[in-house]
Homo-oligomer: A and B are copies of this chain.
Amino acid sequence: MKNFLSIEDVTDLKGLVNEALAFKHAPFSQPDLGNNKTLGLIFMNPSLRTRLSTQQAAYQLGMQVIVMNMNQDSWQLEFQDGTVMDGGTAEHVKEAAAVISQYCDVIGIRTFAGLQDVTADYQETVLNKFVAHAQVPVISLESATLHPLQSLADMVTIQEHQKSHKPKVVLTWAPHPRALPQAVANSFLQWAKQWDCELVLTHPPGYELAPEFTNGVEVIHQQDLALQDADFVYTKNWSSYQSYGQVLTKDPSWMITSEKMSLTNQGKFMHCLPLRRNVVASDEVVDQSLVVKQAHNRLFAAQAVLAQILNNE
C-alpha cells in the first residue's frame, strides 16, 4: 500500500480486515516493524478517537509519533497555486508537505470539509495537494469527503458481529443541530458496497448523497421500512449535498429509538462517534450499541494500514 486515502488504495478488503483482527488478538505481534520510523500526525481539525488510536497503533508497531495541530501550533497554509500570498496564509502546501515528509516516514493528515464550496471539498483539494507534494506515504485521518480508517473499523466490526453471510446493513440519516460533512456516510457506502451485504440507504428528501457513492445502492425514504429486518443500523447525520452544507431539517422523528430498533432483526446500532445522545439516538439504543466496540477497532484498523504501508505490501 502506498497511500491510504480511500478504499481504492485497498487491494484485498477481506485480507485487510483480517489483518486488523489479527492485531486485535496479538497487538504486539510485530513490535519491531516500525523501528526507526516516525509517524507524523497533522490535524487541521479536532480529533479524539483518530488522534489517540493512530498514535497507539504506531506504538504497537514500534514507531515513534510526532503530533502537530496545524493552525494552532503553526500557521495557515495556502493551497491554491499562483496566489500572491499577501493575506492570511503564511506558507504554501508545496513547501509544508515536502518539508514535513522529510522529518517523517509516514504522514497521517486530517483535513476537513469547508461545506461552502462543493467543488473544492469533493475534489479533496487540501488532501490531494498535500499528497502531491509529500514524499512519503500519506494516510487520511478523515478528509473532506471520506473517512476510510473509520470505514475499515466499521467493516471489522461488522465482520465480528454478523450472524449471516449476507447481513442487511442500513445506513440511516439522523438529525443533528449543526451542519456536518458527508464524509463518514460517503465512505461507509464505498466500503459496504464491497462487502457481501444487502445495503439500504434511508434519509429525508434533500439529503441525497453524491451519486458516485449511491450508485447501485437501494434508497428507501421511509426509515421504518428501511429498518425492517436490518442486522446493522449504521446511523449518521450529514448536511445536504445538493443544497450544499445546509441543514434542511432537524426532524426528531428520524432519531433512532428502541421502538425503531424493534423493527430490525435484533439489529446492532452502529455510529462512528462522537454521538449526541437523545438527538441522533436515544440513550437506550446507544447503551446497547456497538459504538464503543467500533471505536476499539479504530486502533487495529490503523495498525493494519500502518503495517501494510511499512511492509510496502
Contact = CB atoms under 8 A, between A and B. Distances in A.
B36 A48 contact: no
Contacts of A73: 43, 46-48, 51, 69
Given A68-B52, A104-B52, A83 B277 contact: yes
Contacts of A46: 73-75
Interface stretch (A11-19, A94-102, A142-150, A200-208): A94-102
Interface string A207-239: 000000000000000000000000000000000
Contacts of A246: none
Interface stretch (A120-128, A262-270, A290-298): A290-298
B84 A66 contact: no
A285 to B, nearest CB: 13
A82 B277 CA distance: 8
A90 B274 contact: yes
A300 to B, nearest CB: 10
A276 interface: yes
A293 B43 CA distance: 24
Interface string A132-175: 00000000000000000000000000000000000000000000
A275 interface: yes
Contacts of A104: 52, 56
Contacts of A90: 274, 276
A313 interface: no
Interface residues of A, number: 63
Contact of A275 (B28, B40, B56, B91): B91
A66 B51 CA distance: 9
A177 interface: yes
A299 interface: yes
Contact of A84 (B47, B51, B279, B299): B279
Contacts of A89: 276
6 contacts: A46-B75, A48-B100, A53-B103, A56-B104, A90-B274, A102-B296
A27, A53, A287: most-surrounded residue (chain B CB, <10 A): A53
A278 interface: yes
Contacts of A98: 292, 295
A84 B286 CA distance: 13
A278 B48 contact: no
A103 B278 CA distance: 26
Contacts of A278: 82-85
Contact of A102 (B40, B84, B85, B295): B295
Nearest first, the 10 A-B pairs at minimum CB distance are A91-B274, A85-B276, A99-B295, A48-B74, A84-B278, A102-B296, A52-B103, A56-B103, A98-B292, A59-B64
